[in-house]
């Protein structure tokens, strides 16, 4: 038994004072308020549940600061992303992902949903171990101290236009399996463990043709451990236009027709939705995984957050391409973007913001994401005396803090970050080494 104590903590019922946390193994055995510190380990500031980063492309971290010089759009940015993807192999991907996940841990993230589609060698030939790249990500997460849901992604076509789906381009070949059956066969050889789970993803309706979508859903329904399904949905108007031109329906309609929508489905971005799309996602009690810092960095647009919540959908948050790794910034982006589009403040409540930031269940970790007895023992301590947070009421720390204010992170009862230091040491150095090596040629 290990006991921690904090002057403030945000419990499910709200802000509490003088809180002690008894941790037995990897869960909270007892949480009590109004307690003296005694011999307990003191956590500074205010304690929050661990954050969930529900949408990550780990290798995109190597693009930070390298895509701004020529302006452009999402589609021009994508060519630079392909340049990074072609450079990856299992060894350098392990180094890059380990450092990226460690950066997330420093920011208070305890669970990550990794939307993984770099499966094979650059020419599309499988590695001797067909899951070498996915297993590198799993190892990276173990070493960095975060839980990982490997959302192994089905990617079969190179794009969609009014004339139909295009074959994979040379730069996309390493993403693709021959068909859904080949994808499912490969994924069936990935395994869960104490801190890794396997989920599934459809890259987009651009990348998985209609007839294959139905097969995909059938395979997922047959899977015994594939608890979650994610897909990029309506990130760009061009995606919607192509889907309408060829299929006569929106991406959400196409996914609904295939049977993909449900409580375990996450529509990533969900930016350019019709009213009918919002209603469908709401009726399905699906999740919209918003990535505010990426959506503004790529000039994607602002999604209908309030409308989705009111329709019955949920929200989660991800850092996607990692232009920023800061859960506080994602939270503020969610609310501030809503203010910009509505011209009203406070459209999303503090409780809804915390729920979006801690939506571990949407990536298969339902036992995490809350400071409650019996839950996974995750704690994030946030300094209340920094230049950013000094004078801020503890219950509103999400509106003021940044990742730099996270002092301590405990995942499953294990210290991962102590006094702002990650257990791997100098994370900046690890990132420099991984990224500089990747761009050497």
Closest CA to 249 of 274, 270, 271: 274
* β-pair type (229-233, 14-24): unpaired
- 153-170 CB burial, b ≥16 within 10 A, e <16: bbbbbbbbeeeebeebee
Give the separation between CA 281 and CA 215, rounded to whole angstroms: 21
Known catalytic membership, residue 320: yes
- For the sheet containing 27-32, what is the strand order? 27-32, 14-24, 2-11, 41-48, 379-382, 406-411, 414-418, 421-422
Element containing residue 214 per DSSP (H, E): helix 210-222
Among 232, 269, 322, 422, which one carries the catalytic annotation?
Answer: 269
Give the separation between CA 114 and CA 317, rounded to whole angstroms: 13
What tokens appear for 240 in the block?
A: 């919607």
- Partnered with residue 153 across adjacent β-strands are 201
Give the separation between CA 308 and CA 286, rounded to whole angstroms: 9
Number of neighbours of residue 357 by Cβ within 10 angstroms: 26
Among 152, 215, 277, 320, which one carries the catalytic annotation?
Answer: 320
Known catalytic membership, residue 119: no
Give the separation between CA 43 and CA 51, rounded to whole angstroms: 17
CA angle 147, 153, 157 (to 5 degrees): 165
- Partnered with residue 52 across adjacent β-strands are 111
- Partnered with residue 199 across adjacent β-strands are 151
Closest CA to 370 of 362, 420, 379: 379
Element containing residue 132 per DSSP (H, E): helix 132-144
Give the separation between CA 102 and CA 88, rounded to whole angstroms: 19
Give the separation between CA 381 and CA 418, rounded to whole angstroms: 10
DSSP letter for 362, please.
G
Cα dihedral 46, 47, 53, 54 in deg (nearest 10): -120
Q: Which residues are catalytic?
A: 269, 320
């Amino acid at each position: 038994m290990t006991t921690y104590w904090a002057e403030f903590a945000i419990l499910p019922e709200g802000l509490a004072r003088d809180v002690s946390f008894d941790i037995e193994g990897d869960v909270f055995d007892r949480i009590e308020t109004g307690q003296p510190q005694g011999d307990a380990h003191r956590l500074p500031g205010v304690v929050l549940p661990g954050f969930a980063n529900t949408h990550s492309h780990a290798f995109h971290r190597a693009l930070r600061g390298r895509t701004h010089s020529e302006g452009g759009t999402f589609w021009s940015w994508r060519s630079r992303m392909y340049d990074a993807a072609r450079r990856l192999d299992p060894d350098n991907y392990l180094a890059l992902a380990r450092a990226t996940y460690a950066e997330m841990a420093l920011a208070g993230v305890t669970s990550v949903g990794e939307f993984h589609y770099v499966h094979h060698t650059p020419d599309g030939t499988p590695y001797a171990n067909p899951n070498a790249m996915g297993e590198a990500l799993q190892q990276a997460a173990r070493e960095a101290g975060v839980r990982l849901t490997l959302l192994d992604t089905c990617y079969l076509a190179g794009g969609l236009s009014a004339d139909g789906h295009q074959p994979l381009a040379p730069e996309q070949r390493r993403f693709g399996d021959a068909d859904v059956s080949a994808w499912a066969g490969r994924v069936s050889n990935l395994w869960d463990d104490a801190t890794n789970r396997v989920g599934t993803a459809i890259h987009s309706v651009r990348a998985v043709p209609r007839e294959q979508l139905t097969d995909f859903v059938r395979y997922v329904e047959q899977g015994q451990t594939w608890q979650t399904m994610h897909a990029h949905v309506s990130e760009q108007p061009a995606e919607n236009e192509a889907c309408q031109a060829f299929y006569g329906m929106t991406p959400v309609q196409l996914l609904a027709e295939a049977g993909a929508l449900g409580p375990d489905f996450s529509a990533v971005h969900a930016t350019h939705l019709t009213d009918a799309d919002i209603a469908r996602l709401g009726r399905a009690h699906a999740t919209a995984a918003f990535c505010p810092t990426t959506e503004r960095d790529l000039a994607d647009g602002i999604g209908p957050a309030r409308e989705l919540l009111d329709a019955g959908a949920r929200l989660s948050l991800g850092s996607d391409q990692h232009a920023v790794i800061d859960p506080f910034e994602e939270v503020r982006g969610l609310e501030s973007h809503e203010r910009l589009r509505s011209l009203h403040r406070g459209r999303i409540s503090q409780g809804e913001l915390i729920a979006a930031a801690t939506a571990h269940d949407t990536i298969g970790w339902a036992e995490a994401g809350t400071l409650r007895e019996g839950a996974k023992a995750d704690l994030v301590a946030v300094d209340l005396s920094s230049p950013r947070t000094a004078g801020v009421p503890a219950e509103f720390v999400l509106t003021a803090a940044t990742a730099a204010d996270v002092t301590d992170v405990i995942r499953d009862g294990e210290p991962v970050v102590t006094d702002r230091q990650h257990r791997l040491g100098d994370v900046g150095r690890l990132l420099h080494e991984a990224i500089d090596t990747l761009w050497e040629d």
